[in-house]
A and B are shown apart, each in its own frame.
Chain A
Amino acid sequence: MNDVIIIGGGPAGVAAGVYAARKQMKTVFIADQIGGQSVVSDGIANWIGDQLLSGVELAKKLEEHLKSYADDLEIVVPGHCEAVTQNADGSFHIITNKGAFDAKTVIATTGGRHRTLNVPGEEQLNGKGVAYCATCDAPFFKGKDVAVVGGGNSGLESVEDLLPYANKIYLLARRDELRGDPITQKKVLDSDQVEVLYKTNTLEIAGEAMVTGLRYEDLASGEHKNLSVQGVFVEIGSVPNSEFLSDLVVLNDRREVVVDHRTFATSVPGVFAAGDVTDELYKQNNIAVGDAIKATLSAYEYVKKMV
Chain B
Amino acid sequence: MAQVTVYSTPTCGYCKMEKEFLSENNIDFIEIDVAADEQAAQKMVEKTGQIGVPQTIITMDDGTEETLIGFDEERLRGLLKIA
- A residues neighboring B (CB under 8 Å): 33, 35, 39-42, 54-56, 59-60, 78, 127-129, 131, 133, 135-140, 142, 161, 209-210, 231
Is the Cβ of A41 less than 8 Å from the Cβ of B13?
yes
Given contacts A78-B73, A131-B52, A139-B41, contact A40 B13 (CB under 8 A): yes
How many angstroms from the CA of A55 to the CA of B14 in the assembled complex? 9
- A to B contact number (C-beta, < 8 Å): 70
Chain A: which residue is nearest B38 at the CB level?
Answer: A142
Given contacts A78-B73, A127-B69, A142-B38, contact A136 B13 (CB under 8 A): yes
Q: Which residues of A contact B17 (CB under 8 A)?
A: 33, 35, 39, 56, 59
How many angstroms from the CA of A14 to the CA of B15 in the assembled complex? 22
How many angstroms from the CA of A137 to the CA of B41 in the assembled complex? 11
Q: How far is the CB of A74 from chain B (nearest CB, A)?
A: 17
Given contacts A56-B17, A128-B50, A128-B51, contact A140 B34 (CB under 8 A): yes
Q: Which residues of B contact A140 (CB under 8 A)?
A: 34, 41, 45, 51-52
How many angstroms from the CA of A210 to the CA of B71 in the assembled complex? 22
Is the Cβ of A42 less than 8 Å from the Cβ of B11?
yes
Is the Cβ of A135 less than 8 Å from the Cβ of B13?
yes
Q: Identify which of A39, A40, A129 contacts B51 (C-beta below 8 A).
A: A129
Can you add 4 more A-B contacts, CB < 8 Å, to A39-B17, A59-B13, A139-B9?
Answer: A41-B13, A78-B74, A128-B51, A142-B38
Q: How far is the CB of A245 from chain B (nearest CB, A)?
A: 23
Q: Which residues of A contact B14 (CB under 8 A)?
A: 39-40, 136
Is the Cβ of B73 less than 8 Å from the Cβ of A135?
no
Q: Which residues of B contact A42 (CB under 8 A)?
A: 11, 13
Is the Cβ of A136 less than 8 Å from the Cβ of B41?
no
- B residues neighboring A (CB under 8 Å): 9, 11-17, 20, 34-35, 38, 41, 45, 49-53, 69, 71, 73-74
How many angstroms from the CA of A39 to the CA of B14 in the assembled complex? 7
- Enumerate the 9 nearest inter-chain pairs by beta-carbon distance, A residue then B residue, closest first: A139-B35, A136-B12, A127-B50, A56-B16, A39-B13, A40-B13, A55-B13, A137-B52, A140-B51
Q: Which residues of A contact B38 (CB under 8 A)?
A: 142
Between-chain CB contacts (< 8 Å), 29 pairs:
A33-B17, A33-B71, A33-B73, A35-B17, A39-B14, A39-B17, A54-B13, A54-B16, A55-B13, A56-B13, A56-B17, A59-B17, A78-B74, A129-B51, A135-B12, A136-B12, A136-B14, A136-B53, A137-B12, A137-B52, A137-B53, A138-B11, A139-B9, A140-B41, A140-B45, A140-B51, A142-B38, A161-B11, A209-B49
Is the Cβ of A137 less than 8 Å from the Cβ of B9?
yes
Q: How far is the CB of B77 from chain A (nearest CB, A)?
A: 8
Q: How far is the CB of A241 from chain B (nearest CB, A)?
A: 17
Is the Cβ of B11 less than 8 Å from the Cβ of A135?
yes
How many angstroms from the CA of A221 to the CA of B9 in the assembled complex? 41
Is the Cβ of B13 less than 8 Å from the Cβ of A127?
no
Q: Which residues of A contact B49 (CB under 8 A)?
A: 127-128, 209
